[in-house]
C-alpha cells in the first residue's frame, strides 16, 4: 500500500508493555517466572497476560514500515512504550515526567488493545 505523501503532522503511536500480577501456568519452557512487587507492596508473579508482546511487536512493526516508507509521509512521529497501562499509573507517570515537554505534543494519538475473548 502506497501512502501517497501522507501528512502525519505530529502523531503518536502507543503500545503498552506492562506485566500483570498473575502466575503463568502454561507449562511452556518460556513461561514467565518473574516476580515483582505489586501496587499493594506484595511480591507476586508477573506475566504479559493480555497480549502486551503483541502490542510491542506491532509498535516495532509499524516503526519499521514507516521508516521504510519515510519518503511517502511527512511530519513528526513519536513512538511510545507505556508501562503500567492496566492500572493507568503509567500514563500519569509519563505525563508527570514531562512526556509532552520532552517530546512533541501530538495532534493525533493511536493505540490499540488485543482481547482474546472478542471476535476478530
Residues, the chain: 120
Which of 43, 86, 96, 107 is an active site residue? Answer: 86
Q: Which of 16, 18, 24, 85 is catalytic?
A: 16
- Measured CA to CA in angstroms, residue 2 lies from 69, 70, 106 at distances of 8, 11, 23
Q: Report d(CA 79, CA 73) in Å as an integer.
A: 16
DSSP code of 72?
A: G
Contact, 54 vs 113, CB < 8 A? no
16 noted as active-site residue: yes
Please indicate whether residue 85 is annotated as part of the active site: no
Active site residues: 16, 86
Amino acid at each position: 500500500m502506497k501512502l501517497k505523501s501522507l501528512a502525519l503532522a505530529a502523531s503518536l503511536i502507543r503500545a503498552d508493555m506492562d506485566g500483570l500480577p498473575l502466575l503463568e501456568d502454561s507449562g511452556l519452557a518460556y513461561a514467565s517466572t518473574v516476580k515483582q512487587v505489586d501496587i499493594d507492596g506484595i511480591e507476586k508473579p508477573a506475566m504479559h497476560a493480555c497480549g502486551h508482546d503483541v502490542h510491542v511487536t506491532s509498535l516495532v512493526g509499524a516503526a519499521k514500515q514507516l521508516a521504510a516508507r519515510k519518503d511517502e509521509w511527512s511530519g513528526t512521529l513519536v513512538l511510545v512504550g507505556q508501562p503500567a497501562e492496566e492500572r493507568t499509573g503509567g500514563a500519569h507517570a509519563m505525563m508527570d515526567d514531562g512526556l509532552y515537554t520532552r517530546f512533541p505534543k501530538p495532534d493525533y494519538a493511536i493505540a490499540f488493545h488485543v482481547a482474546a475473548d472478542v471476535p476478530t
